[in-house]
Amino acid sequence: MTKRIFRSICLVALTVFLASVVLFMGVLYEYFSNVEQTQLKMQTTLAAQGVTNEGIDYFHDLKVKNYRISWIDTEGNVIFDSASDTAEMENHLEREEVREALSSGYGESKRYSATLMERSFYSAQKLDDGTVLRLSISQNSILTLLLGMTQPICIIFVIALILSIVLAIQVSKKIVKPLNEIDLDNPLSNEGYDELSPFLRRIDSQQRQLRGQKAELLQKENELNTIIGSMNEGMILLNQKGKIISINPAARKLLDAGTDCIGSDMLSLCRNLELQEILTKALHGERGENIIRLHGESYQIDADPITSENIVKGAALFFFNVTEKEKAEQIRREFTANVSHELKTPLHSISGYAELLKNDMVKENDKIPFAGKIYDEAGRMIRLVEDIISLSHLDEGADDMQRENIDLYTLAEKAVQSLEPEADTVCVALELSGVPAPLNGIPQLLYSVIYNLCDNAIKYNHENGKVMVNIQNENGMVVLSVEDTGIGIAPEHQERIFERFYRVDKSHSKAVGGTGLGLSIVKHAAKIHNAKVDVKSHVGKGTTVIVTFPK
């Protein structure tokens, strides 16, 4: 703006200067022309008086420098001319000033010569004898005068230019200074030009609107960042060129990306071909999804195009960890297959024995053993179905079961007492030790934990072996320990023993009547009570299962 003001002031100053020069020269030129015409008339009058008194003798020894004198008779012939030979001169009767002098006694005229670039003034007066005396003088044209005054005009022009520049700089700074000092953060507090008041009021109004919009946008941005920042699922927003414009912490961790990945190409972070395929679809307006492996886990990736006015502006990627879902699906399939297999075996036995009895193909002495076989297999099926129902109930969270303040040691006493007959049958000593341990929990589930652990310890023990149950209070925790001197568990099986229907020794498990669901029930019941289960075992030396409950 300063430059524009500076140029405008300089242009105006120079324009005024040039206009002044032209006007001044024109006015002066016209003024001096009139003065010169007046003087010429006076000189003509004086010369006419001299010629009237002396006649042609007046011109003898007359020295005239600037004037030209012509004496013209009544016929227009030149009698005398101070500048030219009268014999060669043409008739002057038609000259304007001569005609006026002959008719009115005095005449004058002005003529311009383009060849000589000068203007001539003529003044003619009629004498008493009817002749005409004419005086003329030449005057340079205004253009000639300007050319002659080029040097002083140039000097004046340079001086005027310098003054214009200096004044323009000072004036432009003075004009712009209030504008430069405007406080746009507080428009209404400025003191300056009144003409700027509507503009400043408009700025103040717009700033209030912008501040409100900014606060609203910041709030929404903070809300969005809080939401996507707390998401366990990864989320990435991309522009239409596949560049990252937003990424939440979960996605950065998943892709091992730093905080400086904004603006990077998505495929530079993850070169997975399946990801590239669904990303390409999304950027072309098609929704894509697939499951890929990252860091040893399975992730479902959903890619949705982001459109505006039917134009794809980018894409949104969502990463869902489906490892547990896949495991659960696998466990469900295995569970279904195992349940079918576990139920099919006793059903075949029951069906076979029943068919023999139905067809009276059994001796009378064998009917009671056959009925005992059917009873045992039916009981095994009942236990299996009951365990399946209990496990299903635990999967749902057991929300309908009431929690109570109980003593885990008392529950352990009941479980040990109920299992003593079974332990005596296989010659296994069952011992309980410890101290009272108050705990808030679900009695049925806590009892099932103790019962199943002790039942397994008895079944998978050696003859004349021991099972030691201990209850302790340690550092605000209740610790249940079930130790046996049984067959033990190999290290490669220890992590899987809590899976449904998983058996280390299937033949032995069936021989002792296990359903394969006892430890699964223990695991789920412990999980409901936020308890931790640890297993320590050595093959041939025994197993210790420790369950730690928070009080």
Residues in contact with 484: Cβ distance below 8 Å, sequence separation at least 6, in sequence order: 457, 458, 460, 461, 465, 466, 467, 468, 542, 543, 544
> What pLDDT, on a 0 to 100 scale, did the predictor assign at position 507?
47
Which amino acid makes up residue 538? H
- Backbone CA torsion sign across 434, 440, 443, 445: negative
The yes-or-no verdict on residue 253 having pLDDT over 60 is yes
Note whether 69 and 134 are within 8 A (CB). yes
What is the CB neighbour count within 10 angstroms for residue 402?
8
For 372-396, write each residue's pLDDT tens digit: 888 777 877 776 677 666 666 666 6
Average pLDDT, the chain: 80
Q: Is the pLDDT of residue 186 over 90?
A: no
β 477-484/542-550 pair status: antiparallel
All domains in the chain, ordered by first residue: 2-148 (3.30.450.20), 231-321 (3.30.450.20), 326-395 (1.10.287.130), 404-550 (3.30.565.10)
How many other CB atoms sit within 10 Å of the CB of residue 344? Answer: 11
- Whether the CB-CB separation of 269 and 260 falls below 8 Å is answered with no
- Predicted confidence at residue 390, as pLDDT, reads 67
The one-character DSSP state at 243 is: B
Say what angle helices 2-54 and 150-180 make with each other, to 10 degrees: 150
CA–CA separation, 388 and 257 (whole Å): 45
Type of residue found at 141: S
CA–CA separation, 65 vs 377, rounded Å? 160
Query: Is residue 491 predicted with pLDDT exceeding 90?
Result: no
**Predicted pLDDT of residue 193:** 67
- Alpha-carbon distance of 344 to 128, in angstroms, equals 167
Q: Which of 124-138, 355-369, 513-527 has the lowest mean pLDDT?
A: 513-527
| pLDDT at residue 393 in the model | 62
CA 437, 439, 444, 445 torsion: positive or negative?
Answer: negative
Taking a C-beta distance cutoff of 8 angstroms, is the pair 132, 98 a contact? yes
CA 469/CA 545 separation, integer angstroms: 10
The string over 477-508, giving b where at least 16 C-beta atoms fall within 10 Å of a residue's C-beta and e elsewhere, is: ebbbbbbbbbbbbeeebeeebbbbbbbbeeee
- Give the DSSP H or E segment for 276: helix 273-283
What is residue 34's predicted lDDT score, i.e. its pLDDT? 81
Please provide the DSSP assignment of 320-361 as one string: EE-HHHHHHHHHHHHHHHHHHHHHHHHHHHHHHHHHHHHTT-
Measured in whole angstroms, the distance separating CA 547 from the mean position of its chain's CA atoms is 52
Residue that wins the pLDDT comparison between 162 and 332: 162
User: Residue 265 gets which letter from DSSP?
Assistant: B
- Do 469 and 481 form a contact (C-beta atoms < 8 A)? yes
Reported as a single tens digit per residue, the pLDDT across 22-77 is: 777 777 777 777 888 888 888 888 888 888 888 887 777 777 677 888 888 888 88
What is the pTM (predicted TM-score) of this model?
0.43
Find the mean pLDDT for residues 528-536. Answer: 88
Could you tell me if 424 and 459 are in contact, meaning their C-beta atoms sit under 8 angstroms apart? Answer: no
- For residue 282, pLDDT over 50 is answered with yes
476 φ, ψ to 5°? 75, 10
Q: How far apart are CA 312 and CA 246, in angstroms?
A: 17
Q: Above 50 in pLDDT, residue 411?
A: yes
pLDDT tier for residue 427 given thresholds of 50, 70 and 90: very high
Contact 123, 134 (CB under 8 A): yes
pLDDT of residue 509: 47
Percent of the residues in the chain that have a pLDDT greater than 90, as a whole number = 9
- Max mean pLDDT among 138-147, 281-290, 425-434 falls in 425-434
DSSP 403: P
Q: Residues with Cβ < 8 Å from 388, sequence gap 6 or more?
A: 339, 517
Burial of 521 (0-12, 13-18, 19+ CB in 10 A): buried
Could you tell me which of 91, 94, 86 has the C-alpha nearest to residue 68? 86
> What secondary structure does DSSP assign to 125-190, as a single string?
EE-TTS-EEEEEEEEE-HHHHHHHTHHHHHHHHHHHHHHHHHHHHHHHHHHHHHHHT--TTSGGG-
